[in-house]
Structure 1
Amino acid sequence: MADAFVPGTDLVMREVLHDALWAHWPERVVADVGPDGVLATFQPSGTPLSFPPHPTPHPWGHLDAWQGTSVLKLRRTGDWYAVWKFFDADGAHLSWYVNFETPYVRQPDGMTSTTSSSTS
């Protein structure tokens, strides 16, 4: 299992669908308790989003960048969800959100989530 990520560094969040890379983007590490604890990352408005060619369109595929809000994301290894805290452009808290997702697997440079279906 990978070591804890260093706060302040960027990591790559990857989504894989049907054994092919579906999407990826950077997120900044805020805190990491380690492989069995909570990983907190931050995705500011304007974060570039990348969608390699894939037979199944990604729901965000029409976007070049994350826009409108910044998001603090809290994940635990093995959980089938992440907790997202949204902020507006001035840094004011807007809302909490539970994002249902497949568990992420730590890689040396980030995290990978593998999905077998496009209905998530």
Structure 2
Amino acid sequence: MKFKPSISILAGFLFLLDIDYPHEESVEELICLADVNDYSELSKVFDIVMRPDFLNYSEDDRSWLIETISFFLNENDSFEGVFEKRSFLFSDEIEDGRFFMSTLLGRLQVYQQETIKG
């Protein structure tokens, strides 16, 4: 089944990085210490925090999430409305929402390829 892109699903998915999400202490520290505006540090956080949940999603839901991020990046969305709904654990502010979401998209596409290769 194909779903229409919906920006509202992004805030829910990003709850994994929220201060109110019940993290293990080591994961919380990883998020807090990571430079949210650095590609490699942000990718590491995504790999550790987001990857396991993403891989537990159904194929349809994984595709929907990827297609939604792609759609809104192509629409030149800043994702401000998404970020305003979250209280992230990162110590720094997100300087460029499009960079953040583009990095997330790239990592999700890698994880999706992992499911195809088995």
Structure number having the greater strand percentage: 1
TM-score by length of 1: 0.26
TM-score scaled by structure 2? 0.26
